[in-house]
Copies of this chain bind each other. A is one copy, B any other.
Amino acid sequence: MPTLAKTPSPRRKTAVKRSQKLSSQDSGKDSSSISLRDEVVAYRKERILQAACDAFYEHGYHECTVEMIAERLSGSKAIVYYYFSDKHSILYEIYRRALDEAQILILRAAADHSSCKEKLVAIARAYANWVTDNTRTVGVYWREVQSLTPEARAAVFAEQKKIDDVVAHVIRDGVADYTFKVSDVQTTARAITGMITFTYTWWRDDKRLSREAVADSYAEMALRLVGSFT
């Protein structure tokens, strides 16, 4: 079997972790019963997606070829085409996974806490961490919207709206129990997700602000926006 990479990359550990999580989701079984084959497939798809995301981020989707993606994996185009039918399928899969991940972490953050205030803090923190951990994915996501087919774009927008809806739901509950006070629930929800998402444009790992400091800031600012920071 051809291997996708000659040398291990620093992002390989993440790929393994993610591919295990994803193949476990796909099969619907617990991780102990996943076959080695499923793991290899999930791992390879994940590596291709990471390489594609890096390539799209650096050169833009239209400037990239499947060959360029394969080169980053020290493999041939054939390997990429074995898992994805074309370049657009790779791009769409980047969106789909980003949406899955963001939705899951936001729903989980809300479910793990009982009060609206705790829920909002947990959402802001989890989403901020995800954005700072995935600045390239978030960058590709917002830059390449026009590169999706109209059908794919509509599906992406519909799923994306669900993220703002979860935040709006938490804010609405907080307004109902007098914890929060806002003038416009939907615009406030969009301001919270918007300011955090926009972090991809300026945050870099090597700069003055740590990932944790960013998350702390947004947790505080989210509470300020709903009038609940004391």
A213 / chain B contacts, CB cutoff of 8 Å: 184
A102 part of interface (Cβ distance < 8 Å): no
Task: Name the one of B62, B144, B183, B195 contacting A195, with C-beta atoms under 8 angstroms.
Answer: B195
Contacts A194-B195, A229-B227; is A220 near B183 (CB within 8 Å)?
A: yes
Min CB distance A145 to B, Å, is 7
A146 part of interface (Cβ distance < 8 Å): yes
Min CB distance A138 to B, Å, is 12
A188 part of interface (Cβ distance < 8 Å): yes
A59 / chain B contacts, CB cutoff of 8 Å: 146
A175 part of interface (Cβ distance < 8 Å): no
Task: Name the one of B57, B146, B194, B224 contacting A58, with C-beta atoms under 8 angstroms.
Answer: B146
Interface size on A, residues (CB 8 A): 37
A214 / chain B contacts, CB cutoff of 8 Å: 187
Task: Name the one of B142, B183, B194, B229 contacting A199, with C-beta atoms under 8 angstroms.
Answer: B194
A221 to B62 alpha-carbon distance, docked (Å): 38
A227 / chain B contacts, CB cutoff of 8 Å: 224, 229
A90 to B199 alpha-carbon distance, docked (Å): 28
A201 part of interface (Cβ distance < 8 Å): yes
Contacting pair A147 B198 (CB below 8 A)? no
Over the window 88-108 of chain A, the binary record of Cβ atoms lying under 8 Å from chain B Cβ atoms (1 yes, 0 no) is 000000000000000000000
Contacting pair B191 A195 (CB below 8 A)? yes
Min CB distance A207 to B, Å, is 10
A65 part of interface (Cβ distance < 8 Å): no
Min CB distance A225 to B, Å, is 5
Interface residues in chain A, defined as those with a beta carbon under 8 Å from any beta carbon in chain B: 57-60, 62-63, 142-147, 183-184, 187-188, 190-192, 194-195, 197-199, 201-202, 209, 213-214, 217-218, 220-221, 224-225, 227, 229
